[in-house]
Amino acid sequence: MSKQKTVILSGSFNPPTLAHIELLLNSIKAVGADKGLFLPCSHSYLKSKNTMHRDGLALKDEVRLKMLSSIHEEYPQLDIIDYEITGKGTSFSTYSSLSYYQNEHQDEELFYICGADKLSSLPHWHKIENFIKEFNIIIFRRDGTDIEKEISKVPLFKENRTHFYITPSLENVGHISSTKIRNLFKNGDPKYLDYLSTGVGNIMKDIKLSDYPEVSMEEWVSFMLKHGGRLSKNKVSKAIFADNSRIFLENKQKFLSFEPAKYYASPFDYSPKKIAPSTSINVLNMNLDEALKPFKEKYEHLAIFNNTHPARVAGYYDEGKGSGYDTYLSLRSNLSLYLYQYAKPTLKRVKMSGVSLIKDVYPLNKGSGLYAKDVIFFRYGENNDYRLRDEVLSDVISIPLSDESQIDNQIRLLYKVASMNKVECLIIDKESLKRSAIGMNEALKRFKTILLEEFNGILKEVVILSNSAKKKESKDQMIRLLS
């Protein structure tokens, strides 16, 4: 006795569209099947997929099942397999789901629907050799793909050519996609109903967008860096740059209203001016964010030292990433949109941003520095990433420590710039010194020696931050180096 034929279509069905229905109905007709089944993916998979595309509208399992049930009521020959949603007997791979169904329905021959655009990735599917030998595959022509050529490229497919069924494309519904429907729905355009069955459309009308908040930049960045693969860092970098440029433009007048940054090239004439009998040097187990608040309350004029790239005093901010201490500032507090005005104007992404750049001050020599007053930090902390803060936190002195032969002069330049701008307290994080040409330990010694021998008293206090998991050991080590 011949087996009953069953066609299966897997997917997110977020929401199920008229195209999905037509795909199943035409597949049933093409192979003479008795019924068609929707195989919706789990919500965890759907949520991950939508997070990657920064789309918050990932319909809940119960909503998608309700929509698919409404289709079954209208088309009795179309039903649902809920294995991946319920977790019943499957590891959430397509092969596992079909195998589990086959074990429960051994009198049925299974036909799996696959778009022509998926053929190139099919050889990499989980247990593909078993999949091809145990099940049949229906391929719909799409985007002009030469299906026979693609099949012949893969020996496994060529050997099992009788398991492949090629059908014409669905011209009348080829333009319909769940993504298009979600976008129309989110924009309040009722045309989305034109692409849904009556039952699904009625359910969609009752959905509240407030129940599906958009994916935040912080969520997206965290997800991409963890799951996005080899190219995710570059993609995240570009997205952060674009988002930061948007924030800058939205707050452009605020930033441009602050006192312009001052550019310094050394050597230059300067006589140290003492503001204290001597400068105290203290080591604290804090990170930058923790230290800023108490020291802002203690001192009227506070500055952070930024060990920057020698040819880019604004760091790599214009590319959405950092170098040296810029990396730490970017991850913890970020240097600021303010310094972005000093980015290299020839870079494509800088031109695209529309930010007003300050001309003819971009430092290209190693004996230079930039003093930025009234810096607004943003993109700081785990819960406030990529958000602008209204509070002015500190001034920033950006000077490179990358040329070993010039480091002593650069440290002198740092103290000169601080004194000329009436800085009372200078904050230096050990992270800023790890990437100096002479390393953290030697840099600390030179900071202390030059301060005490040449600039003692021009600052009231120098604070060294030790943000370490082994705080006591780290603090003790730096105290020994400075003693």
Which CATH number covers residue 40? 3.40.50.620
Res. 377: pLDDT tops 80: no
* Shared domain check, 169 and 248: no
Q: Let me know if 191 is exposed, middle or buried by CB neighbors in 10 A (0-12, 13-18, 19+).
A: exposed
Examine the domain organization and report whether 191 and 296 are in the same domain. no
Query: 21 and 168: one domain?
Result: yes
Task: Give the residue from 133, 187, 191, 189 showing the smallest Cα distance to 164.
Answer: 133
Provide the pLDDT for residue 473: 53
Per DSSP, 333 falls in state T
Selection from 94-98, 323-327, 459-463 with the highest mean pLDDT: 459-463
In whole angstroms, give the CA distance from residue 141 to residue 25. 16
Instruction: Find, among 330, 282, 294, 239, the residue nearest to 428 by Cα.
Output: 282
β-strands 108-115, 35-40: how paired?
unpaired
Which of 285, 394, 295, 299 minimizes the C-alpha distance to 339? 394
Q: Which of the four pLDDT bands, split at 50, 70 and 90, describes residue 402? A: confident
Q: Note the pLDDT of residue 247.
A: 67
Q: In 3D, which of 395, 392, 466 has the Cα closest to residue 428?
A: 466
Q: Mean pLDDT for the chain?
A: 81
Q: Looking at the structure, do residues 161 and 54 belong to the same domain, yes or no?
A: yes
Model-wide pTM > 0.75: no
**Burial status of residue 16 (CB atoms within 10 A of its CB: 0-12, 13-18, 19 or more):** buried
Question: Amino acid letter at 273?
Answer: K
Dist CA 129 CA 80 (whole Å): 26
The reply to whether 203 and 245 lie within a common domain is no
Q: What is the DSSP letter of 426?
A: E
Q: Is the dihedral of CA 15, 18, 21, 22 positive or negative?
A: negative
Looking at per-residue pLDDT, the higher value among 476 and 99 belongs to: 99
Q: What secondary structure letter does DSSP report for 404?
A: G
Angstrom distance (rounded) from CA 139 to CA 115 = 5
Q: What is the pLDDT of residue 403?
A: 84
C-alpha to C-alpha distance for 275 and 93, rounded to whole angstroms: 70
Quick: pLDDT tens for 407-426: 999 999 999 999 999 999 99
**Where is the domain boundary, 153, 188, 215?**
215
- Greater model confidence, 319 or 88: 88
| Domain total in the chain | 2
* Same domain membership, residue 307 and residue 250: yes
Please report the pLDDT score of residue 235 as a whole number: 78
Q: Which pLDDT does position 343 carry in this prediction?
A: 62
Shared-domain flag, residues 252 and 146: no
Calculate the alpha carbon distances from 27 to 134, 251, 330 in Å. 18, 55, 53
The answer to whether residues 247 and 388 touch, using CB atoms and an 8 Å cutoff, is yes
More confident residue, 267 or 450: 450
Reply yes or no on whether the pLDDT at 317 is more than 70: no
Residue 335 in this model has a pLDDT that exceeds 60: no
Residue among 437, 435, 434, 417 nearest 426 (CA): 417
Least confident piece of the model among 130-134, 329-333, 460-464? 329-333
pLDDT score for 226: 82
Q: Name the pLDDT band for 338 (thresholds 50, 70, 90).
A: low
Domain boundary among the residues 195, 215, 235 is at: 215
Find tokens 């009348």 and name the residue: 172
Q: What is the pLDDT of residue 347?
A: 63
The reply to whether 139 and 262 lie within a common domain is no
**Mean pLDDT over residues 183-199, rounded?**
95
Q: What is the predicted pLDDT for the residue at 380?
A: 43
> Count of CB atoms within 10 A of residue 198's CB?
11
How far apart CA 270 and CA 262 sit, in angstroms, is: 15
The DSSP code for 275 is S
Q: Which residue has the higher pLDDT, 31 or 435?
A: 31
197 and 324, same domain (yes or no): no
* Residue 399 pLDDT exceeds 60: yes
Say what percent of the chain tops pLDDT 90. Answer: 42
What is the Cα–Cα distance from 400 to 264, expressed in whole angstroms? Answer: 12
Greatest alpha-carbon pair distance for the chain in Å reads 103
What's the pLDDT tens digit per position in 192-248? 999 999 999 999 999 999 999 888 877 887 788 788 777 777 777 677 666 766 766
Of the two residues 337 and 373, the one the predictor is more confident about is 373
Domain CATH for 440:
3.40.220.10
With residue 344 as reference, give the H or E element that holds it: none
Of the residues 189, 215, 241, the one at which a domain ends: 215
Give the residue with greater pLDDT, 92 vs 102. Answer: 102
pLDDT at 464 over 70: yes
What sign has the CA pseudo-torsion 246, 247, 252, 256?
Answer: negative
| Residue 414, CA distances (Å) to 38, 153, 419, 426, 438 in order | 67, 64, 9, 10, 17
196 and 259 share a domain? Answer: no
Q: Does one domain contain both 71 and 117?
A: yes
Please check the confidence at residue 340 and state whether its pLDDT lies above 90: no
Q: What is the pLDDT of residue 184?
A: 95
Helix or strand (DSSP H, E) at 45 = helix 43-52
Q: What CA–CA distance (Å, rounded) separates 101 from 83?
A: 9
Q: pLDDT > 70: what percent of the chain? A: 75
User: Which residue range(s) make up the domain with 80?
Assistant: 4-215
pLDDT at 324: 41
Question: Is 302 found in the same domain as 207?
Answer: no
Rounded to an integer, the average pLDDT of 384-394 is 58
Length of the chain: 483
